[in-house]
Amino acid sequence: MPIYEYKCSNCGHFEQKQSMKDAALTNCPTCDGPVQRLISKTIGVVFKGSGFYINDSRSNPNPAKDNPAS
Interface positions with Zn ion (CB under 5 A): 8, 10-11, 28, 30-31, 33
CB of 7 to Zn ion, least distance (A): 9
Asked whether the beta carbons of 8 and 33 are under 8 A apart, the reply is yes
Asked whether the beta carbons of 5 and 40 are under 8 A apart, the reply is yes
Asked whether the beta carbons of 30 and 8 are under 8 A apart, the reply is yes
Nearer residue to Zn ion within complex by CB, 53 or 68: 53
Nearer residue to Zn ion within complex by CB, 14 or 39: 14
CB of 40 to Zn ion, least distance (A): 19
